[in-house]
Homo-oligomer: A and B are copies of this chain.
């Protein structure tokens, strides 16, 4: 007997290019397969739900919901908010008030922790509700899943930018002969490593890749850059924003902490540029893509977008099949031709656990990744997403938050 009641979906954490595919998958699948209940959206994640900022997705135009498949950013808005014990009680009251029996939370590690705590709080209050986590993160650091929706698109964008700016670097005989690209990824170097997809032949960019998984040594870095520069006359470096020294301290942390107590990082690329110029006397440039790398839907991976939709769809189907307290995962069956299906894992196992790049996928010199990583990463960037263009630019959609407001 399927639990009767309404559902809610919300997004949390930093967006990815394809995060809205997951919401679209949840919403469209629910509207088609669960006619007994409403599909609500919490606007701005758990924080919005706590504030009663909830809309009925059934009131949106179907074209707008379909347009989420090609729209970056958090379509139903997102938050970074750590739920306290008082919040949990209030949250359950709100969920009861709206007869919400299905809770879909779309996010990364911290979000899965929030989903897990919400599940526990509902149980404690005796409110029967099925909670399913829908994975998302460009960082690819969720455990128990082969990879995470959002990673493939960010990887494709980073690798493309490195290929393009690598060609640019090589082709101009000018003073700037070192390019440093700073990639997102606080503790996990997946996205930084993905730059290696760019290299098609020896000496093509990137030449050096530094991940947060292994200690960063400034002297060794300078020696590496100097060697490549001597050999080729230029050098392309990709570095994670989260590189740390032997003591495990961030090399260039800005000092402040976010809501979850994580160090705010910035300026690693710029700091390394200065280091190269000061110590090696070679002019350098730094490309800091910032939020572009998590929102570049204009060149997203179709494989990634489709998987992001699939985990949303599967979240609803799993919940309707009685599954509870789980996160949907991706299970790879084969690399080539690539095959992947949805699986599941208990939320409590995922919450707050970070999956980093295996050390055996990092070269002994600690400045590049191995062929095994390439084999893993390559299928995830395949295909492009078709986007309606107006006046030469992608015409992304926008929900009308005045429709279907839930009181």
Contact = CB atoms under 8 A, between A and B. Distances in A.
A172 B79 contact: yes
Interface string A68-91: 000111110111110000000000
B164 A73 contact: yes
B164 A45 contact: no
Nearest to A198: B393
Contact of A291 (B14, B81, B179, B256): B179
State how many copies of this chain the complex holds. Answer: 2
A78 B383 contact: no
A172 B15 CA distance: 8
A165 interface: yes
Nearest to A166: B73
A299 B299 CA distance: 8
Interface string A365-407: 0000000000000111111100001011111100000000000
A292 B287 contact: yes
Interface in A158-174: 159-161, 163-165, 167-174
Contacts of A392: 156, 197, 301, 303, 378-383
Centre residue among A170, A171, A295, A394 by max chain B CB count within 10 A: A171
A159 B393 contact: yes
A173 B47 contact: yes
B291 A288 contact: no
A294 interface: yes
A321 to B, nearest CB: 31
Interface centre among A164, A174, A292, A301 (most CB of B within 10 A): A164
Interface residues of A, number: 75
Contacts of A161: 292, 296
A299 B301 contact: no
A290 interface: yes
A285 interface: yes
B378 A382 contact: no
Contacts of A168: 14-15, 72-74, 291, 294-295
Interface string A13-32: 01101000000000000000
A289 interface: yes
Given A72-B168, A73-B171, A292-B165, A391 B15 contact: no
A79 B167 contact: no
Interface in A57-107: 71-75, 77-81
A286 interface: yes
24 contacts: A15-B172, A71-B167, A73-B170, A74-B171, A74-B172, A78-B171, A80-B172, A80-B173, A80-B174, A163-B396, A164-B298, A164-B396, A165-B290, A168-B295, A169-B291, A174-B258, A179-B290, A179-B291, A256-B283, A264-B283, A286-B288, A288-B288, A289-B289, A383-B392
